[in-house]
Amino acid sequence: MESRRDFDIVAADWDEHPPRVKLIGDIAATLLTQVVPTPEMDVLDFGCGTGLLSLHLASRVRSLTGIDSSSAMLEVLRQKAVRQGLANVKTMHLDPDQGDVISGQYDLVVSSMVFHHIQDIELVLRQLHAVIKPSGTLCIADLDLDDGLFHEDPTGVFHSGFDRDELRGMLIRAGLRDVHDVLAAETTKPIAAGGERRFTVFLMSGRRD
């Protein structure tokens, strides 16, 4: 088990990495082909970080709540929302791995590149299912199996990507229906062994009855 990563330390410079910004932008573009945000929707971004995904959605919906375990990341999101005049963005400092319980009711719950940092996936999926409104949707974007090569520093990485079939089963056990996945994005990175490798990111969606 890897120790937890302190995201507060990197929050100020998190958005200063163009490949990361592009990757989340590509995920957001794919997400918008799978769901249609409307002005009546309340959205939760679980593990929102600095809001790279959140701010693609906030102007399209009634409310956007960003949850993260890093208070510094949340502060960056708050500042960005203010600069963009987004009064409907709220933040919540919360960490399910430490026993915190997610609250509220949402039409759409999204999470991008977060689940590989979560120890107990099924616990979090049950919590997320509980806060999705009937007929609401959960969308998770994360890495396909990556042999542990995506992260140069594995601190806080508990899963080396995901087998889609296994994760799909977890969503179904959590109570979600119509679970399906698509390729969301891909990126190429240098790896420690030398050369570069292409990594793929899926978007998996499910609906609450």
Q: What burial class does residue 72 get, using C-beta atoms within 10 Å of its C-beta: 0-12 exposed, 13-18 middle, 19+ buried?
A: middle
User: How many of the other CB atoms lie within 10 Å of CB of 78?
Assistant: 17
pTM of the model: 0.94
Which of 20-29, 77-86, 153-162 has the least mean pLDDT? Answer: 153-162
CA 35 to the chain's CA centroid: 15
Judge whether residue 1 has pLDDT over 80: no
Helix and strand totals (H; E) in the chain: 5, 7
Q: What is the model's pLDDT at position 192?
A: 78
Tell which residue, 108, 116, 136, 126, has the closest CA to residue 201. Answer: 116
Buried b (16+ CB within 10 A) or exposed e, 150-188: bbeeeebbbbbbbebeebbebbeebebeebebeebbebe
Region at 101 (left for phi over 0; alpha for psi -120 to 50; beta for the rest): beta
What would the pLDDT profile of 89-133 be if each residue is shown by its tens digit? 999 999 887 889 999 999 999 999 999 999 999 999 999 999 999
pLDDT-based confidence at residue 153 (cuts at 50, 70, 90): confident
In this structure, are residues 66 and 74 in contact, taking their beta carbons and an 8 Å threshold? Answer: yes
Q: Strand, helix or coil at 14?
A: coil
pLDDT-based confidence at residue 194 (cuts at 50, 70, 90): confident
Domain ranges of the chain: 11-208
Q: What is the model's pLDDT at position 2?
A: 47
| Domain at 11-208: CATH code | 3.40.50.150
| Integer Cα distance of 83 and 77 in angstroms | 10
Which residues lie across from 190 on neighbouring strands?
Answer: 196
| Integer Cα distance of 130 and 134 in angstroms | 10
Judge whether residue 144 has pLDDT over 80: yes
Q: Is the dihedral of CA 6, 144, 103, 122 positive or negative?
A: negative
Judge whether residue 152 has pLDDT over 60: yes
What would the pLDDT profile of 7-50 be if each residue is shown by its tens digit? 989 899 999 999 999 999 999 999 999 999 999 999 999 999 99
Tell me the residue type at 93. Answer: H
Q: Which residue has the tokens 């409307």?
A: 38
